[in-house]
Structure 1
């Protein structure tokens, strides 16, 4: 079962990375900005699905997925629901995705709720930069 990470920039500028035991996050998120409440909902739903996939394959839930969901909920609670959180990157991209770099993914655009309108984001940078930022290649601190 392929695992992945998603890097997120919270409204206060803090960068965090979260783990998933499955690529299912690609079904719910793409690089770009989301309202905090929308991101929390999408991410925790995806992590619940990832844990269920582990349970179906191995007979037990994934505690790492549960820990990531809990970390996201705690981080989200520090911010207003209407504030914007940015999904900076998702790695690895989906298998077979036609991307120019490892930072691009084929997945849903922020705000969409179905596979309709899915497209490939294949730029070297990220979907959007935080105001005042001068580089799309900022490292985790």
Structure 2
């Protein structure tokens, strides 16, 4: 199952290197796109939940890395009432 790494840049310029165990993330977040914080979190939650479920379907257990990523995103998002989050996908060789 191909994993996807992506960078999240928060409204204050802080960057976070995120991980999805599945390419399903591309159905919910676009490369080089910005989203209001609340919309980003809705999209990220849906995407990472779906990615973790794909792992469960294949391996019989959910992906703890996807849930860790989601937890970290939730924690940081609480710091922002407004602003935009910028997403870019990391190219792997």
Per the TM superposition, whether the score is higher than 0.5 is: yes
In structure 2, runs of 5+ residues without a counterpart are none
2:53 equivalent to 1:52 = yes
- The residue number in structure 2 matching 1:134 is none
- The residue number in structure 1 matching 2:11 is 11
**Mapping for residues 58-97 of structure 1, pairs under 5 Å:** 58-80=59-81, 82-87=82-87, 89-92=88-91
Give TM-score, length-normalised by structure 1.
Answer: 0.62
Q: Deviations over 1:53-93 (max 9, x none)?
A: 0000000000001001111111111101x311111x21348
Structure with the bigger percentage of helix? 2
- The residue number in structure 2 matching 1:43 is 44
Distance 1:17 1:91 in 2: 9
Distance 1:91 1:26 in 2: 12
Give TM-score, length-normalised by structure 2.
Answer: 0.92
- The 4+ residue runs of structure 1 with deviation greater than 2 A are none
- The residue number in structure 2 matching 1:129 is none
How many residues are paired up?
92
Structure with the greater relative contact order (CA < 8 A, sep ≥ 6): 1 or 2? 2
Q: Deviations over 1:114-141 (max 9, x none)?
A: xxxxxxxxxxxxxxxxxxxxxxxxxxxx
